[in-house]
Structure 1
Amino acid sequence: MKAFITLALAALLAWHPNAHALACGDTLSSDTTLTADLHCTTGWNALYMPVGGVTLRLNGHTISGGIGLEGVSVFTASNVRILGPGRITGFWTGVNATRADYLTVQGVDFDNTSAGIIASDTLGTFLQGNDFRNINGWGVYIFAYPGASRSVLGAHTIADNLVLESVGGIFICGHANSDNLLKNNTLQGIRDYGIHLLDGSGKNQVRGNQLLKIENTGLVLRGSRDNTIKSNKFEYGYAGIAMIPQFTGGCPTGPYASADVRDNLIEGNSIFKQTTGIAAGLGGKGGALVQKNRIGYNKLYYDGTGIYFNTDTYANDATLNAYTGTTTPVDDHGVSNTW
């Protein structure tokens, strides 16, 4: 009798609502658990989720397909959850979400896609514990549509993810996409930028991330203000952090008429073996475009140049940094910078 009760309990715990094999192109309108792998080569997507509040559990299975398809498409549906363990591979994007507020993607492995997760015009995504490997574009790509976006998006949490051997890491674009938390992510073997905050995305918290062997730049603040960049580790690359006063035009910049990079706190980071540890400004005669940033208590060890201030920098405070083994601690061509 005891054995029967134990088996019944195990079966109950393993059961999920609507657990069955799916067909390519299925629309999910209620909680669903995969019971088999799904491979798709025709149509628009493997699975379509247009209904809010629905959870998809991969249940250890793989969704795979061709480069012309989306893996899971979430459209105008809030509070959707896509939960691992499980794998999404082969598509042009693993998860493509549009106006999918409070989307959760957790514990999913993405590989050999053109993009891992795309979230457009979406508020409050929660992306945690996912693996992105061999992505031909960006692991996470969050943006606001030019001319059509809501004024408030952002508040995204991107934490504890791994992006490995991919073209780009994490991309967040547009003033509406501000107030985000990027924490404890590991990005390694990235061929372009590790983290790119651009076109007015500001007030972000970037904490405790590891950016290792980034061929271009670990973290780029492009027309981005009021960020806290703290306790991150940058090792082996061209540049650890770059502050670039430039808008790309890819996303709405909100109230900002100028691409100033200012009022950022860059503190307590370890920046090792970069050609340039922190690069500020583009130069030229554009005026004081990188200004009033606080750069302190960082370890800039064994870099070629620790901090480079170009001619368009002004009144940045770079005191109280350490430069063990760095050939040129500070190269300053700006005005009123302190170090």
Structure 2
Amino acid sequence: MFSFFKKKTPPSAPAVAPAAAPAPFDAPAEALPAGSLIGSALVAPIAIPEPSATPPERQKWLDKLKAGLGKTASSISGVFGGSQIDEALYEDLEGALLMADAGVAATEHLTNALRKKVKASGVTHPIALKNILIAELTELLQPLQKPLVIGQQQPTVIMVAGVNGAGKTTSIGKLTKHLADSNASVLLAAADTFRAAAREQLTVWADRNTVEIVSQEGGDPAAVSFDAVTAGKARKKDVVLIDTAGRLPTQLHLMEELKKIKRVIAKADGTAPHEVLLVIDGNTGQNAVAQVKAFDDALGLTGLIVTKLDGTAKGGVLAAIARERPIPVYFIGVGEKLDELETFNAREFAQALLA
């Protein structure tokens, strides 16, 4: 299997570190994650410890994330500038979290947890309260931290949905790079046949990543998906990545088309799709939560990609998702470049949002 992280580490700890990266396939077998594929052979399961320091490339990306969430971080951090913990501080914090798109449920959960911790610990200084908030937010976000793992099926079929403008096709291009960089063979399916130039856009990403693509000009999305899965099986690809047409969850007839695509994929491979991902725009606030609920109800989502956390997005929406519909966040993006999509880590995100 492949799991998508950035750092190669020696095999001594008992658990796989969620923020680490897989070793390239020219590394020695003992450095690879359990079940990784080298050619057609499976590596025996091993354990990979958490790295002792953040790799430089990961730190560079974290700096971008902190910059992208800087406005929200400054707004929330300002709440802790006083000299005492009082009711006014809690009220200001509630307002700051709501303004950060954390939503009512997550805001109430966090502030109630803070009150209990302060009462139990006896802390009196706002800075200590901020540190408690970072820990509580990390705990809230922890269920969202899960790696995307492929290789249990061949091909692993990944269906990607999202409303127009969320960055769906761009995210597919970035995800393709993650897969290709780990030596996974990828076949793209241009099943977003309704949006003008979508097929051409995906073809550009295929060329950049040097991967194959299945497309039909004006073809039926379900038919394109079926052909792609069939071709992926015949060509022994590791991954078939299907770009489905953008949909608004309020357009019920269009959501039905997505359900049809999923059914047709299952006809080509009875176990597929193995992953159903939703790309959401981090700028859309509570509307993103509504999208997650609607697409999950229709398709049964297995993971999320959150995009555009690059200066205008407030970021707190992940807390709302964690509280109301805790679907794993496989990747978050901070820009348009190929290397600006990275794995989600709960503590890193909490620190970037509140630092």
Greater per-residue strand proportion:
1
Structure having the higher Rg: 1
Q: TM-score, normalised by structure 2?
A: 0.22
Greater per-residue helix proportion:
2
